[in-house]
Amino acid sequence: MSKELARVRRSKKLRAKLQKVQLMRVSVCRSLKNITAQLIDSSNGKVLATVSTQQKEFKGKSGGNIEAASKIGAEIAKKAIDLGHKKVTFDRSGYKYHGRVKALADGARDGGLEF
C-alpha cells in the first residue's frame, strides 16, 4: 500500500468517527511548503473559515514551518471563536499527529479552542 493510499484510508476512518460527534471540525491540509486549516460545518459540509500560509498576511514572514503552523492554528482559533464555536473536533486528514500538524493543533488550543 502506498503512502497516499494509507493516508486516505486513515482519513476516511477518522471522518466517519468525527461525523458521529456532530461538532464543527477543523480540517488540516498540508503540502511540502504550506499548511491550511479550515473550519467546516460537518452537518452540511460548508466551509465557514479558512486560514493558509499562502494568504497575504503570512507571505514573506520569516520562521520555520513549525512556527507558521502554530500561527495558523491560533488564527483559525480566533476566527472560530468569533463565529461562536469554541468546541470543535480536529480532523488531521489522515496525517500523522506530529510536526506541523501537532503544532497547528497546539496553536489552536492556545488560541482558545477545545478539542
DSSP per position, 21-78: H-SEEEEEEE-SS-EEEEEEETTTTEEEEEEETTSGGGTT--S-HHHHHHHHHHHHHH
* Percent of the chain predicted with pLDDT > 90: 57
Supply the pTM of this predicted model: 0.85
Fold of 3-110: Nucleotidyltransferase; domain 5 (3.30.420)
What is the separation, in whole angstroms, between the first and last Cα of the chain?
A: 31
Of 21, 39, 34, nearest to 61 by C-alpha is: 34
Total count of residues recorded for the chain: 115
What is the average pLDDT across 34-41? 94
Average pLDDT, the chain: 89
Phi, psi of 107 (to 5 degrees): -65, -40
* Nearest-angstrom CA–CA distance, 70 and 64: 10
Place 63 in a pLDDT band, splitting at 50, 70 and 90. low
Place 1 in a pLDDT band, splitting at 50, 70 and 90. confident
Sole residue written with cell 493543533: 105
Phi, psi of 80 (to 5 degrees): -65, -40
Amino acid at 82: D
Q: With 90 as the cut, is the pLDDT of residue 90 above it?
A: yes
